[in-house]
Amino acid sequence: MADEWGRGTARHAVVVGGSLSGLLTARVLADHAERVTVVERDRLPEEPDTRPGVPQGRHLHVLVEGGQRALDELLPGFMDELRKLGAPKIAMPTDMVQWQNGRWLRRTAASAHFYSGPRAQLEWLVRRRVLADPRIELVEGTETVGLTGTAARVTGVRLRGRGAGRESRVLAADLVVDASGRSTKAAEWLAGIGAEAPHEETLDTGLAYGSRIYRATDAVPATDGLGYYVVPGPDQTYGAVVVPLGHDGHHMVTLSGLRGQEPPTDPEAFEEYAKLLPHPVVSQWLAAAEPVSGVHTFRNTANIRRRYDRPGRRPAGFLATGDALCAFNPIYGQGMSVAALGAVALREALADPRRTPTTRRVQRALLAAARQAWDISAGADKKMPGATGDAARPKPLDGAVGWYLARVQERSMGDPLVGDAFREALILTAPLSRLFAPAVARAVLFSPAGRAPLEPQMRRED
């Protein structure tokens, strides 16, 4: 990246990966480059269908409010379009029957919303909007196999058509952005030009999950809620989510367990697995619903943060974003929202009139956009039994902070004030410091835990 990027100089930018993060990055760069090329190894579907390059595409995806706001900022009117496509809007805690830490949440007035439609639908809508820009070109069915340039500066990428032999070609670029996902080959690419790969922080619980689509019938347990959520924790490590996919009665059901407790792929065994949950309501729902798909599993759930912000021999003109920069345990539903927030951070860094958008400065802004999601995901996973990786090592303040946050979670189930603050942090619309605001802190430190139902609250509170 030249020091004058973002100052109106016409240049060529290459984005590796036609993912959600890659597409939104291309949208931002189009305002600062003469042209932008998105290189994607898949052939992208013309309709909202799953594709091989999104291995968890058949699983549950949610878009929380932080991501909703960011998408509307980047693509004005986006959320209206998504709603018109039928993506379900779910109010929290009103619409979810939720179990956590041995108790059920009160279904009080909504303070947050998320969307639970298929990821392929949302990605297709983003793709249609972004690629309508004539400044952005898509190169499909093509792999990025390396970088060109030196350890001081990247000058382009080496590309090879999939299934087209071993010859590669060079595509010159003033800026290369790696948005190729958690399986990025950037370490190899950087080594190939004499540069250093970043240190990778990792935290892995071994969590795996299985998903299956069901159609709700009249026989499922009666509730005015839209779904169920059993939150795993250190003392009860099995999880479940049941949410609608649209207006046709189809629901995504995801069951999860840690290393050695993985959900099975056999359909009958999958439904038996649900009986391991701490309450039978999800198992009863599955027994009464009609399955409409097979079981798909996913195991690559480690938290990985690549520290491009730390010193090292790395070139100007190369950035990482999305899961190629910071990948989270997907069970927390943050990835799509952080992709959008990262694109907003990129736009702000390039447009900032006070600072020259150097590679290091912009990379730090991208990492900062992912920090809160990392703190939430890695912070929760660190407490799980069997967690491994250097990010699992305790830090000096972990004990005090963990004690306080445990009280926050406990009181969030019965106290709407604490619950609202907790959800605002989780949906990435307020900083984690919101949990330490005076009114919240008083409730957390000095108030009793409050009333929480001991059984599923099948009807919302007035």
Q: What percent of the chain has pLDDT over 90?
A: 81
Mean pLDDT of 131-151: 96
What is the length of the chain?
462
pLDDT of res. 58: 79
Q: Which two tokens stand for residue 269?
A: 């065994």
Reduce the DSSP state of residue 230 to 3 states and report it.
Answer: strand
Region 105-128: what's the mean pLDDT? Answer: 92
358/168 Cα distance (integer angstroms): 30
Helix and strand element counts for the chain (H, E)? 12, 21
pLDDT mean over 188-203: 97
**pLDDT of residue 386 exceeding 80:** yes
Of 40, 299, 60, 45, the closest CA to residue 179 belongs to: 40
Cα gap 262→208, rounded to integer Å? 5
Q: Which residue has the tokens 């009333």?
A: 451
Mean pLDDT value of segment 46-51:
80
Q: Give the confidence band of 399 by pLDDT, cuts at 50, 70, 90.
A: confident
Task: Grade residue 10 by pLDDT with cuts at 50, 70 and 90.
Answer: low
Average pLDDT estimate for 145-172 = 91
Distances in whole angstroms, Cα of residue 220 to Cα of each of 45, 215, 269, 278, 374:
35, 10, 20, 19, 36
CA atoms within 13 A on the CB side of 360: 8
Give residue 1's pLDDT.
Answer: 47
Query: What ranges make up the beta strands (E) of 169-261?
Result: 169-172, 175-178, 200-203, 208-215, 227-230, 239-244, 250-257
The stretch 370-391 carries a mean pLDDT of 94
Q: What phi and psi values does residue 164 have, to the nearest 5 degrees?
A: -115, 35
Has residue 9 got a pLDDT over 60?
A: no
Domains of the chain plus CATH, in order, are 12-61+122-202+301-379 (3.50.50.60), 207-298 (3.30.70.2450), 395-446 (no CATH)
From the list 26, 35, 315, the residue with the least C-alpha distance to 194 is 315
Neighbour tally for 218: CB within 10 Å: 6
Q: What is the mean pLDDT of the chain?
A: 92
Is the pLDDT reported for residue 6 higher than 50? no
Six-digit token pair at 365?
Answer: 């802004």
Residue 90 CB neighbour total at 10 angstroms: 21
The answer to whether the beta carbons of residues 326 and 370 sit under 8 Å apart is yes
Q: Sorting pLDDT into bands at 50, 70 and 90, what band is 415? A: confident
Distance CA 425, CA 375 (A): 11
pLDDT class of 395 with cuts at 50, 70, 90: confident
pLDDT of residue 3: 47
Alpha helices in 98-185 (DSSP H): 119-131
Checking if the pLDDT of 59 tops 90, the result is: no
314: tokens are: 């790395």
What pLDDT is recorded for position 448? 87
Rounded Cα distance, 159 and 172, in Å: 11
Q: What is the pTM of this model?
A: 0.94
Tens digit of each residue's pLDDT (9 = 90 or more) over 319-353: 999 999 999 999 899 999 999 999 999 999 999 98
pLDDT average, residue stretch 421-429? 95
> Which residue carries 């038996």 as its tokens?
272
Q: Are 42 and 66 within 8 A, CB to CB?
A: no
Give pLDDT tens digits for 169-194. Answer: 999 999 999 999 999 999 999 999 99
Residue 43, pLDDT above cutoff 50? yes
Residue 244, sorted as left (phi over 0), alpha (psi -120 to 50) or beta, turns out to be beta
What is the pLDDT confidence band of residue 207, given thresholds at 50, 70 and 90? very high
What average pLDDT score do residues 249-253 get? Answer: 95
The CA distance from 181 to 128, in Å, is: 20
